[in-house]
Amino acid sequence: MPVTRSAGSMLATAVCAALLLTGCTDASSVEPASPAPKATDGSTVGQSGPGPHKPVARLIPGLGPHFRSRIPGGTRQALVVSGGTADTNVAEAVLYESDTARSWRPVAGPWPAHNGMRGWTDDHHAGDLRTPIGVFGLGDAGGLSPDPGTRLPYDQDEEFVALGTGFLGEPLEGSFDYVVAIDYNRVPGTSPLDKERPLGPEKGSGLWIHVDHEGPTQGCVSLSRERMRELLRLLDPDKQPVVVMGPAQELRK
C-alpha cells in the first residue's frame, strides 16, 4: 500500500527545508559588530569580538605635539622638568619610560626642582640666568663624590667644586657632588667638565642637572641629593635618555 504522510509530518519537513536554506540562523537577529572605541587622542582602545585588544598609546602628560615630536625615535627615557611660568625658578621633575609600543609611564617623581634665577628661555645666552627650553640628551655624568651606581659614563674629579653662596645666600658647597650633563652647547660623549662649545661661548655653557642648594641656579636644573642619586641609578644609556624642559604652558605646544 502507498505510504501517506500526515499533515504534521509534511509541516515538519517544510520547516527543516526552510532552516537549511537560511543556514539555521535568521540574519536579521544578529547584532552588527560595534566599532572599536577610540581614545581621546584617536588611538584604538580595543577590538570588538574575539581576539587580542590593541593597547592605548599612553602619551607623556603635559607635552603637546611639538615637544613630543622632538623626542628622538630611539629614546625610551625622558625626564620632564616643568616650570610654573616663563619667569619662575621653581619646577617639578618626573622621569618617564616607554615600552617598544611607545607607550609612556612614570617611573620616578614628581620631584621638586630649581631652574635658572630668571626662569626659562628659548634663546639662551651666557649670563642671562635662564634655563634653555627644549629637548636635550643626557648621556654623561660625574661629580666630586664616587659613582653611586649609574650606567652612564661617570667622571669622578676634584674639579667638581662649587664655591661661594647662591642667590638667596645659601652655601653652594656640595652642589656638584653629582651631576648629569645636559647636551646643550657641548660635545656628547665627553666629561661634563669638557670645555668645547660648538655654538660658541656666547650661547652659554656648563648646563647640568646637579644637587640642589635650596635656591635658584644660574641656568642649571637642580634636584635634592637623594633624588640625584636615584636619577643616576635609573638613567640607562641603552634607552637614550633625554630631558624635556620648560615652563608648563610652553611644553603643551
For 34-63, the pLDDT digits (tens) are: 344 443 333 333 333 344 445 556 899 999
Please name every residue paired with 246 in a beta bridge, in sequence order, or none if there are none. Answer: 82
pLDDT score at 56: 59
Residue 238 lies in a domain: yes
Rg of the chain taking only CA atoms, in angstroms: 30
- Residue 96, all three cell numbers: 618617564
State the catalytic residue, choosing from 114, 124, 213, 220: 220
Residue 142 lies in a domain: yes
Distances (CA, A) of 133 to 47, 67, 83, 244, 251: 40, 10, 10, 8, 9
Cis ω before 110 (30° cut-off from 0): yes
Residue 47 lies in a domain: no
Question: N- to C-terminal Cα distance for the chain?
Answer: 93
Q: Which domain holds residue 194?
A: 65-251
Catalytic residue check, 220: yes
Residue 13 lies in a domain: no
pLDDT score at 16: 35
pTM comes to 0.78
Does position 226 have pLDDT exceeding 90, yes or no? yes
pLDDT score at 62: 96
The domain tally of the chain equals: 1
- Name the burial class of residue 69, with classes exposed (0-12), middle (13-18) and buried (19+) by CB atoms within 10 angstroms of its CB: exposed
**How far is it, in rounded angstroms, from Cα 81 to Cα 115?**
9
CB burial of 231-248 (b: ≥16 within 10 Å; e: otherwise) equals: bbebbeeebbbbbbbbbb
Residue 35 lies in a domain: no
| Angle made by CA atoms 50, 51, 56, in degrees to the nearest 5 | 115
The three state secondary structure string of the chain is: CCCCCCHHHHHHHHHHHHHHHCCCCCHHHCCCCCCCCECCCCCECCCCCCCCCCCCCCCCCCCCHHHHHHCCCCCCEEEEEEECCCCCCEEEEEEEEECCCCCEEEEEEEEEEECECCCEECCCCCCCCCEECEEEECCCEEECCCCCCCCCCEEECCCCCCCCECCCCCECCCCCCCEEECCCCCCCCCCCCCCCCCCCHHHCCCCEEEECCCCCECCCEEECHHHHHHHHHHCCHHHCCEEEEEEHHHHCC
**How far is it, in rounded angstroms, from Cα 206 to Cα 197?**
9
State the catalytic residue, choosing from 114, 124, 210, 213: 210
- Residue 11, all three cell numbers: 509541516
We report the CATH number of the domain holding residue 117 as 2.40.440.10
For 86-140, the pLDDT digits (tens) are: 999 999 999 999 987 779 999 999 999 999 999 999 999 999 999 999 999 999 9
Residue 132 lies in a domain: yes
Residue 151 lies in a domain: yes
| Mean pLDDT computed over every residue of the chain | 84
Residue 8 lies in a domain: no
The phi, psi pair for 244, rounded to 5°, reads: -115, 115
